[in-house]
Amino acid sequence: MSTPYEQDFFAWANEQAASLRARDWSHVDVEHLVEEIEGMGRSEKRALESRLAVLLQHLLKWAMQAERRGASWQLTIDVQRDAIADLLHDNPSLHSGLGDVLAHAYAKARRYAATETGLALAGFPEVCPWSTTDVLSCNFMPDATL
């Protein structure tokens, strides 16, 4: 027999919120609430990594294919930087692991950029060539082939 959590997540979430607001502890599903809260934290970190991967991919393309630079790449870079700034503003504790997240995101971005550009993976630096500060700075754009 399945639980309300498994049957209808939306209804379960609303019921849990109502129980918490009413301080009706007897109806609070602590086990599943803990899982969901932990999942929310992981989701924020994954969102940061995903946005960093897209940003880094476009910075790599910008550096490696100067002749193809355009407004759409610039827009993607700007949008990702803004979204990352929002994520970090809303979740300041993500700053503490930013270097590790950036390194993991760079590995993905490197593969994606190689695939999208058709350039050899070996032609892209194995380690991110830019500092976290540069990557996130709206004043930074790579100006030369790596």
pLDDT in tens, 81-110: 999 999 999 999 999 999 999 999 999 999
Q: Is residue 86 in a domain?
A: yes
Q: Is residue 11 in a domain?
A: no
Q: Is residue 74 in a domain?
A: yes
Q: Is residue 112 in a domain?
A: yes
Which structural domain, as residue segments, surrounds residue 72?
43-136
Number of domains in the chain: 1
Distance (Å, whole) CA 31 – CA 52: 32
Closest CA to 48 of 115, 93, 114: 93
Closest CA to 121 of 131, 103, 107: 107
pLDDT at 145 over 90: no
Q: Is the dihedral of CA 55, 56, 61, 62 positive or negative?
A: positive
pTM of the model: 0.86
